[in-house]
Each structure stands twice: as structure tokens, then as C-alpha cells.
Amino acid sequence: MDTLLAVFAPWMAPAFTAWGVPVTWLELVAFVLAVAMVVCNIRVVPWGWPLAIVSSLLYFLLFWQSKLYGDACLQLFFAVVAGWGWWQWLYGKRPDGQRLTVHALPRAGRWATAAGVLLAWPLLGTWLARTTDSDVPYWDAFPTVASVAGQFLLGRKLIENWPTWVVVNTVSVGLFAYKGLWLTVLLYALFVVMSVLGWRAWQRLRQAPAVAA
């Protein structure tokens, strides 16, 4: 890992300073790609997935350097799942054999998803507390496990991914502010707004399935 960070050392140079904290070129590039990714997701454009792969790999390096190990490992998961999500959006089918379009979970599916997140959260937090030098293991763990759920919901074009991201991004704003990653704080605050917009846009698409490719 030290070797990889050394390779990307030039990217760790400050691009500018925000609120007295240097913002690296790595964080800046990852920021731009992540915003473009969410715009594509809102518009149900498959190109958001390759953008997600590159952005996630850059954020992996950034978060690892900041000792946010849960979020760092989550980025690797995102990069892998983005390939699956890309395939789903291009070729995926619904259980009835129809082309995958924007749709919603049944009530039982929502409860099961919420229960899974609430059960996994303390387990991951305990593991991070015991095996890493993270100073925020449980705070780091919650957006990590909730993001796993959100990513799978997004990959299957389930509208519930958007309220999940609202919660994840809101918690993450506080976490990254604590770590002094101010450009990423701005990114996740923007993500909160974009998640609300995406939620509304997908609700309209659900009502007009012929448009939701």
C-alpha cells in the first residue's frame, strides 16, 4: 500500500487551499468525476458506472491516507460493483423477463434492507475498532454498510437507492468535516441535494415507464 501511495504522491500535491486546509489534485479529480457520475445516475445514463469505477479508486487512495479504512475498502467494493451495475443497466432484466427499468421494492424488501444495514453496522464498527487504528470506527462503519445497500439498489434501478443515499451522504458530511477533507465535504453536501433531485426524477420515471430505459 505504501508503494501505491508513493506512485500517486504527485497527485497528493495541493491544488489549492480551502478553509486553511490544502485540497490535493487527487481529491479534486475524484470530486469532478463523482459529480458527473451522479448526474448520469439521475438521468439513468449508463456512463455513470465507468465514472464510478475511476472515482472510487481515487477515493480509495484518499480515504486510506486519511485512515478512513471502512470508507476506503468501500471504494474498492464500489469499483467492483460498478462493473456489475453497468452490466445490469445495459442488459439486466426484471423477474418477469422485461427490460430493467426504474421500479420500487415491496414493503418487505424495504424492511429487510433496513434490518440488514442496522445489523451489519455494529459488526463492522467492532471489527474496525479491534483491527485498525481508526479513531472513528463506528462513525465510519455506518455509511460503509449503508452504501453497500445503496449501491445494490442503484444497480437494480430501485428507487429506494435515493433515500438511502440521502442518509449516507448526510452522515458522511459530518465524518469528512471531522477529517478536514473539505472539498469532499462540499461534494457530499452536494450529493445530499442531488440525491433528493434523483429521488424526485426517478419517481417521475416510475410513473412513465416507457421513458425509463
Summarised one tens digit per residue, pLDDT across range 153-189 is 999 999 999 999 999 999 999 988 888 878 778 888 9
CA terminus-to-terminus distance, the chain: 40
- Across the range 6-20, mean pLDDT stands at 65
Q: Is the pLDDT of residue 139 over 80?
A: yes
Instruction: Return the pLDDT at 95.
Output: 79
The predicted structure's pLDDT at residue 8: 60
Q: Is the pLDDT of residue 13 over 80?
A: no
pLDDT at 2: 61
Segment 28-48 shows an average pLDDT of: 92
pLDDT > 90 in the chain, percent: 49
Q: At what angle do helices 107-131 and 137-155 cross, to 10 degrees?
A: 140
- What pLDDT is recorded for position 212? 40
Distance in angstroms (rounded) separating the CA atoms of residues 58 and 175: 18
Contacts with 90 (C-beta within 8 Å, 6 or more apart), sequence order = 46
Give the pLDDT of residue 120. 95
How far apart (Å, rounded) are the C-alpha atoms in residues 161 and 103? 11
The predicted structure's pLDDT at residue 197 = 95
* Per-residue pLDDT band at 209 (split at 50, 70, 90): very low
Average pLDDT over residues 54-62: 89
CA-based diameter of the chain, in Å? 55
**Cell numbers that stand for 2 in this block:** 505504501
pLDDT for 3 equals 67
The set of residues, in sequence order, having a beta carbon less than 8 Å from that of 82 and lying 6+ positions away, is 49, 50, 52, 53, 56
